[in-house]
Structure 1
Amino acid sequence: MARNKLSETRIRNLPIGIHSDGDGLFLRVRKEGSRQWFFIFRRGDKRKELGLGGHGQGTAPVSLVLAREKAEAIRQRLARGEDLVGSKTFLDVMEDVIAVKEAGFRNEKHKAQWRMTLDTYAEPLHKKQISEITRDDVVETLKPIWSKIPETADRTRMRIAAVIDHAKARGLYVGDNPADWRGGLKELLPARGKLTRGHHAAVGYKDLPAVIARLRAAAGVSARAVEFAALTAGRSGEVRGAVWDEVDLDAALWTVPAERMKAARDHGVPLSERAVDILRGRKQEATGDLVFEGGKEGAPISDTAMVKALRAAGAGDATLHGLRSSFRDWCGDHTEYPREVAEAALAHVIKDKAEAAYRRGTALEKRRAMMSDWAQFLESPQR
């Protein structure tokens, strides 16, 4: 096959499409104007593509001369029989990425979400060689959830893309990232703006006492963790990561440190009698620092286990975060507690300086009364 078909002058005027320079070297021109070099070769019946960088773009633009040098180096390695692409699976790289992400996250919920989405929704990719994952593989993985749970589906896509970017950085994957939205997925899946998006599904507060009654009748750490989350209006990650040093049973107070809070501020949570009873029960069974221990030693109860317990109690498709919405609706519809007290209980960021000052000054004791009333409501006869 002839080589050196292209020239720098010709490249500037190439139409959208793929253009050969010969013997495996190609230039892809996208409609937005970007140009990417890549090299195509076959091993047996497998077609492989190696990305060589962008032409005239980024911090390391690849000229025609340099692209030809790279292509020739690849040809030489192929001639020697070298394996140019690693053999790790998607799951192998995924575990490495999760380990890196977990080390950097301070929010336990984010850690759980990363693992859950990749474990559950990216499972069709797990056994595939990372180097051989195609855009079609990503599309087929996302199709079952793309319209049903759009926000989770898009997060899954972004996390798949992060795994492949990690592989690219280690030389385990070459070419364009098949999970990039603008890299071709937008032509193959419905536009994100057209997907139905909503708030976290929640149990109506009037129906919540029946759910709580079934939770109380259930055994297991996950049921206690969900009930505690409902009683405290706490976020899932805050509850799952709770440790005994944060709890003062005598003062009936749980202080979540700033590093575990979304707002990066310490958050004091007044505890109702039932919440204290749950903690005393957990204390008797504790084997470590965590209040709600999971199945693995030193690990907290999983977000998935809590969701299963909530659903088993008759909460339908409600989410753990939806428990906070139920609490907020109860505050607004069923009580006379001021808005700022309810917002303080949820640890929402308050931009108004006067309201923020009020929260710091008197909200704790007002919240103690409110959380006691909330606990009594949750124990009220089933409606």
Structure 2
Amino acid sequence: MALHTLKPADVMKTLDPGRYSDGGGLFLHVRSATARSWIVILHDKGKRHELSIGPAVGPGKAGMSLVEARDAAEGKRRLRTAGQLGAPPVVVPIEGRSFEQVANEWFDNVYAKEVTPKTLGDEKSSVERHAAKLLKMDVRVITKTHIVGVLEPVWHSTNRTARDLRFRLETILNYARAKDYIAADAPNAADWSVLQHLLPDVTPVVEHHDAVPYAELPAVMRTIRSKNQVAARALEFATLCAVRPTECRGARVREIDFVKNTWTVPVARLKVKEIIDKNGKTIKAPDHIVPLSRQAIRLLKNIIPNDAEPDDLIFEGEKAGQMIGHNAMTHTLQRVADGTAHGMRASFSTWRAEQTKYDYRLSEAALAHVFKSETEKAYDRSPYVEQRRPLMQDWADYLDGV
């Protein structure tokens, strides 16, 4: 075990150029006031190996901390013990890329294909605002400590935003690894399996939305159908499908399958973007597949033009290429009844519980909820697409007054 001689406070000082030993072959190499790095010098089979570990943290400078450098040095010592010290290093670009560069590349080349321009702009702004400390950092030196530092300020105040941000950071860093901007075997600094032990537990705030009593819905739906407005058609479709307003507002022609009579909502628009698999590992959630009732199919065929392009929005707002407003569906409903567009989901759930014999798991799957109890892990986010089809048809028939 190496005898350490440096302290974290020493590393953060302004130091004269030179090499400062921490013991065990680890040195802080200071080249100038702003240029410093970690190196480890090891001898193996009579040969001297001077190995660069990475940029070092310093006054006003981001980089690897003393603790992280010690861990990296220990990794090199283990390679020496295993006789692999002279193995070819993992090839990474000589010129590092900043997190900002990688994030913009991912947003423009990958994410832009999944969401609307407005959503793309909102997500970019969120990353730029909340992860400002990371933007100029080389992606190769970002550690879990940096990620925690970004998440902690919003972890309690806006936990939903913080969790979405963490997922976004992890995705961008995975992209960097896939593009060889980071070594392929490097850990992802935003990996939830690690960060969940470093961030405090937060009980999510349950937001209740006003729901129209299901007994009133047939009459309410007749009035909504009488309105010749895009927002009214969106509200009608969202109610038939029991989806969140955001999931409906962003619906595109390519998501509808008129052969299978299904609508596939991309995970990018879902509230739950990650699930835990049967091995306890956090993975990306699947897309949400909605089996469409006859009424939903008829509505879509009436409003989608024959010459529509796959990427066209089904419920386009006043400006070409943009969704209807965030509250347009709720405002349409409130001219008819007291409630919110999101609350229609609660109406559906209560109707299922009180008026049908369908298993509650089917309505939970229809609502794109995730089962959380240990005894129900086997059913976690199971789509039950065909099993849900009779449920959704009965719901549509009920809304028709049948």
Q: Which category describes the TM-score, using the shorter chain as reference length? A: 0.5 to 0.7
1:152 aligned partner:
161
Residue equivalent to 2:213? 206
1:132: Cα distance to partner?
4.0
Q: Does 1:308 align with 2:327?
A: yes
- Shift in Å, 1:234: 4.3
TM-superposed CA distance for 1:346, in Å, is 1.9
1:57 matched residue in structure 2: 75
Give the structure 2 partner of residue 227 of structure 1: 236
Check conservation: 1:2, 1:22, Cα contact below 8 A.
Answer: yes
- Counterpart in the other structure of 1:255: 262
Instruction: After TM superposition, list the pairs within 5 Å mapping 1:1-383 onto structure 2.
Output: 1-3=17-19, 5-8=21-24, 20=28, 23=31, 24-26=36-38, 37-40=53-56, 47=61, 49=63, 54-57=72-75, 85-86=96-97, 90=100, 92-98=101-107, 101-102=110-111, 115=120, 118-124=123-129, 130-132=135-137, 143=153, 145-164=154-173, 166=175, 169-170=180-181, 191-193=199-201, 195-198=202-205, 201-206=208-213, 209=217, 221=230, 223-234=232-243, 237=247, 240-243=251-254, 246-247=257-258, 254-256=261-263, 268-272=291-295, 275=296, 278-284=299-305, 287-289=308-310, 290=312, 292=314, 294=316, 302=323, 305=324, 307-313=326-332, 320=342, 323-333=344-354, 335-339=355-359, 343=363, 346=366, 364=389, 367-376=392-401
Counterpart residue type for residue 304 of structure 2: K
**Percent of residue pairs identical:** 14
SS of the equivalent of 1:224 reads helix
SS at match of 1:57: helix
CA distance in 2, matches of 1:219, 1:131: 50
- Hey, what's the Cα distance between the residues in 1 that align with 2:77 and 2:302? 59
**Secondary structure of the equivalent of 1:240?**
coil
Q: Structure 1 CA distance, aligned partners of 2:391 and 2:192?
A: 48
Partner of 1:76 in structure 2? Answer: none
Aligned residues: 315
Q: For 1:268 and 1:124, how far apart are their aligned partners in 2?
A: 38
Once the two structures are superposed, what CA deviation does each residue of 1:200-242 show, in whole Å capped at 9, x if it has no partner? 6443242885997997688764553343111222466587145
Shift of residue 50, structure 1, vs aligned partner: 6.8
Q: Secondary structure of the equivalent of 1:56?
A: helix
Distance in 2, Cα, partners of 1:266 & 1:129: 36
TM-score by length of 2: 0.51
Q: What SS is found at the alignment partner of 2:349?
A: helix
How many angstroms apart in 2 are the aligned matches of 1:277 and 1:346? 20
Read off the aligned partner of 1:328 and give its amino acid letter.
Answer: S
> Any unmatched runs of 5+ in structure 1?
12-18, 29-35, 71-82, 378-383
- Conserved? CA contact 2:29–2:37, under 8 Å: yes
**Structure 2 gap segments, 5+ residues each:** 1-16, 41-51, 271-284
Distance change (3 Å), C-alpha of 1:85 and 1:196:
same
Q: Distance between the aligned counterparts of 2:318 and 2:292, measured in 1?
A: 27
Distance 1:59 1:319 in 2: 60
Letter in 1 for 2:327: K
**Residues 236-260 of structure 1, C-alpha deviation per residue, up to 9 Å, x if partnerless?**
6587145496337xxxx93347999
User: Normalized per residue, which structure has more helix?
Assistant: 1
Give the direction of change, closer, same or farther, for the CA distance of 1:98–1:226 in structure 2 (3 Å limit).
farther
SS of the residue aligned with 2:61? Answer: strand
* TM-score, normalization by structure 1: 0.53
Cα RMSD for the two superposed structures: 6.2
Change in CA separation of 1:340 and 1:8 when aligned onto 2, cut-off 3 Å: closer
How far the C-alpha of 1:130 sits from its partner, in A, is 2.9
Structure 1 CA distance, aligned partners of 2:23 and 2:161? 45
Could you say which residue in structure 1 is the equivalent of 2:282? none
Answer yes or no: is the 8 Å Cα contact 1:344–1:359 preserved in 2: no
Q: Deviations over 1:284-327 (max 9, x none)?
A: 5863245615479997x65xx5643245457899785x643431
CA contact (8 A) 1:345 1:367 kept: no
